[in-house]
Amino acid sequence: MKYDLLIVGGGPAGLTAAIHARARNKSALVISNEPTASPLCRAPRMANYPGLPGVTGLELVERLVAQARDMGAELKIGRALSVLPMGGSVMVSVENDAVEGSAVILAPGVSRAAPLRGERELLGQGVSYCATCDGMFYRGKDVVCAGDAPNFEEEVEFLRSIGCRVAVKRLAGLEILGEGRVSGVREPSGETAPCDGVFLLRASIAPAQLAPGLELEGGYIKVDERMATSLPGVYAAGDCTGQPLQLARAVGQGQTAAHFAIEAMG
Ligand SMILES: Cc1cc2nc3c(=O)[nH]c(=O)nc-3n(C[C@H](O)[C@H](O)[C@H](O)COP(=O)(O)OP(=O)(O)OC[C@H]3O[C@@H](n4cnc5c(N)ncnc54)[C@H](O)[C@@H]3O)c2cc1C
């Protein structure tokens, strides 16, 4: 099925975009890590959100999810790994699956993780973001896993189950070694470990890795007044587009992005 709108991120920006799409009778699929596991859901009280003073982060997200679902938006739990505009369509890979839409709205919040040394250079040459997608290439081999993805343990277990020898490391300060192909990792202590593959299983993926060629400004996704990015059919909303990192801005941008993405469909 081809959706009218794909939305990456089930936070306030993405869920508002989905609500708006459904109000305009467009199909909408929200691809997200479990929405109630986001850091916002640990906020005990939101003082400045208009109309709902004192609402907790969890309550706000639960209400948004329920509203989006009640209006007919679909929710696919999983990590979006790549976004590929294809002229009239946009493909999003979600772990080992792929979905298609007429347009996509990126609303993944902020990615606080800086890339590791060696990560960009060795991406696709031993560095992977998805065990269930690429694990089979490493059967019987040594791999390193690092990250904070909600399904981290599951991904590690999957690799073990297909015969990979898995070492789990902390992301912070890890360096990936190799020339043209991963050969190992170096930990902050200076200790090195040889391996054939490195699985970086983060909860969020930096925008430039998610959608190669996406123009950034100050580390945030660059958008125009319609929330359009530099890539065709790709819009962005919420914290991923810059300061202030606040709820009211995120929901406003989610609505705006959906409005103009739908308008562009004619
Ligand atoms: C503890 C706390 C308290 C806060 N208090 C306030 C407050 O009082 N007032 C206020 O205005 N703002 C507050 N904020 C800020 C506010 O939460 C953010 O501005 C707002 O949540 C941004 O919404 P968003 O939809 O852009 O991103 P987020 O809320 O970050 O949602 C993004 C969602 O996308 C998911 N995601 C990311 N990458 C991927 C991927 N590749 N695939 C699938 N899913 C992905 C994330 O897991 C997350 O669920 C607070 C934030 C925190 C953490």
pTM above 0.75, yes or no: yes
Section 116-139 average pLDDT: 90
CA of 17 to the centre of ligand 1 (A): 14
CA of 12 to the centre of ligand 1 (A): 7
Please indicate whether residue 246, judged by its CB atom, sits closer than 6 Å to ligand 1. Answer: yes
Domain ranges of the chain: 2-112+205-264, 119-200
CATH 3.30.70.330 fits 119-200, yes or no: no
Please indicate whether residue 11, judged by its CB atom, sits closer than 6 Å to ligand 1. Answer: yes
Using only C-alpha atoms, the chain has a radius of gyration, in whole angstroms, of: 19
In angstroms, rounded to a whole number, what is the distance separating the alpha carbons of residues 21 and 187? Answer: 46
Please indicate whether residue 109, judged by its CB atom, sits closer than 6 Å to ligand 1. Answer: yes
What pLDDT, on the 0 to 100 scale, is given for residue 265? 93
- Report the alpha-carbon angle 128-79-30, nearest 5: 150
What pLDDT, on the 0 to 100 scale, is given for residue 20? 98
What pLDDT, on the 0 to 100 scale, is given for residue 203? 80
**Within the chain, where are the H helices?**
12-23, 57-70, 119-122, 131-134, 152-161, 207-210, 247-264
**Amino acid identity of 105?**
I
Q: What is the pLDDT of residues 52-66, one digit of tens each?
A: 998 999 999 999 999
Q: 27 pLDDT exceeds 90?
A: yes
Angle between helices 247-264 and 12-23 (to 10 degrees): 40
Q: What is the pLDDT of residues 137-164, one digit of tens each?
A: 999 999 999 998 888 999 999 999 999 9
Q: 113 pLDDT exceeds 80?
A: no
Using CA positions, which residue lies closest to atom 13 of ligand 1?
246
Residue 199 banded pLDDT, cuts 50, 70, 90 = very high
Please indicate whether residue 231, judged by its CB atom, sits closer than 6 Å to ligand 1. Answer: no
Section 217-235 average pLDDT: 96
Please indicate whether residue 108, judged by its CB atom, sits closer than 6 Å to ligand 1. Answer: yes
Q: Best of 247, 249, 255 to mutate for ligand 1, by most ligand atoms within 8 A of CB?
A: 247
Decide: helix, strand or coil at residue 92.
strand
What pLDDT, on the 0 to 100 scale, is given for residue 123? 85
Angle between helices 12-23 and 57-70 (to 10 degrees): 20
Domains 2-112+205-264 and 119-200 belong to one CATH topology: yes
What pLDDT, on the 0 to 100 scale, is given for residue 3? 98
Q: 51 pLDDT exceeds 80?
A: yes
Residue 266 banded pLDDT, cuts 50, 70, 90 = confident
Section 125-134 average pLDDT: 88
What pLDDT, on the 0 to 100 scale, is given for residue 233? 97
Hey, which CATH number is domain 2-112+205-264, 3.40.50.10490, 3.50.50.60, 3.30.70.580, 3.30.930.10?
Answer: 3.50.50.60
In angstroms, rounded to a whole number, what is the distance separating the alpha carbons of residues 48 and 107? Answer: 21
Atom number, ligand 1, closest to the C-alpha of residue 38: 49
**Cross-strand pairs, 146:** 200
What contacts 247, CB < 8 A, 6 or more positions away? 12, 46, 48, 49, 60
Please indicate whether residue 39, judged by its CB atom, sits closer than 6 Å to ligand 1. Answer: yes
Q: Best of 6, 7, 20, 40 to mutate for ligand 1, by most ligand atoms within 8 A of CB?
A: 40
Structure tokens given for 181: 């192909």
Q: Percent of the chain, pLDDT > 70? A: 100
Section 92-108 average pLDDT: 95
> Omega into 44 within 30° of 0, i.e. cis?
no
What pLDDT, on the 0 to 100 scale, is given for residue 39? 85
**Amino acid identity of 50?**
P
Q: 209 pLDDT exceeds 90?
A: no
Whether 254 and 105 have beta carbons less than 8 Å apart is answered as yes
Section 117-122 average pLDDT: 92
Q: Pick the closest to residue 21 from 81, 83, 77, 105 (CA basis).
A: 105
CA of 11 to the centre of ligand 1 (A): 5
3-state helix, strand, coil in the chain (%, to 5): 30, 30, 40
What pLDDT, on the 0 to 100 scale, is given for residue 140? 96
Please indicate whether residue 242, judged by its CB atom, sits closer than 6 Å to ligand 1. Answer: no
